[in-house]
Amino acid sequence: MRRGLLLGLLVCTGFGEAAAQCKVKSDSNEGKLLAFYTAPIVFTMAGAPEVIPPASIRIGGEGEYIPKPNPAIEQTGACFTQKSEHTSLSQVFGRPRITVGGPFGLALEAAYLPPVTIARATPNLLSFSVSQAHRYAIGPARGTTLMLRIHGTFGNVKGAITCPRSELQQTSPSSPCYGTSPSKDTFHPNMFGGDIAAGFAPGDGPFSFYGGVGANRIDPHFQVGFTSIGGSVDNTQVELENPITRLALSGGVTGVFRRILDLGAQVYSVPADVTLFRLMGGIRVR
């Protein structure tokens, strides 16, 4: 995750002591941007539903391209000086993940991004899921697998988000980013959700196809950390008035080769916010 992950989400006033808290509606531009940048971090399925043998382990990872938001929602101003920003996004987001099989088709999965600074951004994110899968002898050659799953993601991403070095200015105290040091901001994409998915494997080949539907309860908030030249501190916290629930759709294909290596592609869509394309892979240890 790069420094520009949320550049333009909000604008520092750079003048005076800002209010400690600003609540925004989900249909405001700030609210839409908070939701937009939460979607890429959702802990989705690692591949097609399958029954994982007890005590087996899968070690894998994922990566995705993050598109730019609609320029219309970059017109922020509910909490700060109104300003149009051309958001500079990180083009990709990725993380490692590990899955452990349990009895009765249960599986536990976790992912952690440690606080290691990359391109002036420091993620510290923990994700987890619990799933239960069952194979039914209906449909194509290997039947159909149904999976129920709950998941959550908590933590933060720190970096110069509202006022990176390129936005600093020392000419107008009443304009945004009046200072000499980049802001030290924190984004919290806290969420939990649930999914139901079905997968099928036609023929005897290595590939399985799947589709799913779910809902995410998101409660993202954003903490500004900017000090102006005169020493005024903007530590405004921007958050939604209430947590919101987002419908999510997913579908993809997974290929398992020699029962050891799996590779897959997934389309993940939060219709209200953004559609994403993800690549995934893993190694299985029996």
Please choose, from the candidates 4, 17, 7, the residue with its C-alpha nearest in 3D space to the C-alpha of residue 233: 17
> What pLDDT, on the 0 to 100 scale, is given for residue 78?
67
Q: Region 51-63: what's the mean pLDDT?
A: 95
Q: Could you give the CA distance from residue 224 to residue 188 in angstroms, rounded to a whole number?
A: 11
pLDDT at 183: 87
* pTM for this prediction: 0.85
Q: Is 148 exposed, middle or buried (0-12, 13-18, 19+ CB in 10 A)?
A: middle
Quick: pLDDT tens for 110-147.
999 999 887 677 889 999 999 999 998 776 656 799 99
Mean pLDDT throughout 19-25? 81
pLDDT digits (tens, 9 = 90+) for 161-180: 888 888 888 998 888 888 99
- pLDDT, residue 119, reads 67
Residue 103 buriedness (CB in 10 A; 0-12 / 13-18 / 19+): exposed
- For the domain spanning 3-285, the CATH number is 2.40.128
Residue pLDDT, tens place only, 97-110 = 999 999 999 999 99
Which pair of tokens denotes residue 115? 């606080």
Question: Average pLDDT, stretch 268-279?
Answer: 96
pLDDT of residue 255: 96
**In angstroms, how far is the first alpha carbon of the chain from the final one?**
32
Average pLDDT on 28-57 reads 93
Q: Return the closest-CA partner of residue 45 out of 130, 138, 123, 104.
A: 130
Sign of the Cα torsion 171, 5, 86, 235 reads: negative
Determine the pLDDT at residue 114.
92
